[in-house]
Amino acid sequence: MAFPQRRVPLLPAEVTSNPDIMGGWPCVSGTRIPAMTIVAELRAGTSELDIFDGYPSLPVDGIDAVRKWAEDNGISLDPGATDDPFSD
């Protein structure tokens, strides 16, 4: 499958939380992609190419932004990790 060319955005991607977007769940900026969705993909061993294929609106630096956010918040990316600070 051919991938559309991705450009580096003018502003770097980050994980943000806005009560008006996805109920305030942390998402990759400029998208409605929850950060924990990308965390789950990474934990499952999904390749970056497959993640980008599945989430075409994800900016080119979106995965790196989620990795940094997860590290800053003590969320493991290891396969089999079950920590989810947002579960009820």
Q: 56: domain range?
A: 26-72
Long-range pairs for 14-23 at CB < 8 Å and ≥24 separation?
Answer: 14/65, 14/69, 15/65, 15/66, 15/68, 15/69
Across 1-88, the runs of DSSP E, i.e. the strands, are 15-16, 27-28
Token pair 């950060």 in the structure block, residue? 35
Read off the pLDDT of residues 46-80 as tens digits, 9 standing for 90 and up.
999 999 999 999 999 999 999 999 999 999 999 98
Coil, strand or helix at 63 = helix
Residue 77, domain member (yes or no) = no
| Residue 25 C-alpha from the chain's centroid | 12
* Predicted confidence (pLDDT) per residue in 3-21, tens digit: 556 666 678 999 999 999 9
Q: Is residue 11 part of a domain?
A: no
Task: Tell me what pLDDT residue 81 has.
Answer: 84
- Give 22-40 pLDDT, tens digit per residue: 999 999 999 999 999 999 9
- Does residue 16 lie within any of the structural domains? no
Residue 47 included in any domain: yes
Both tokens assigned to 64: 């790196």
pTM exceeds 0.85: no
Is 14 within the bounds of a domain? no
| Number of domains within the chain | 1
Percent of the chain residues topping a pLDDT of 70: 85
Name the CA radius of gyration of the chain, rounded: 13
49 within domain boundaries? yes
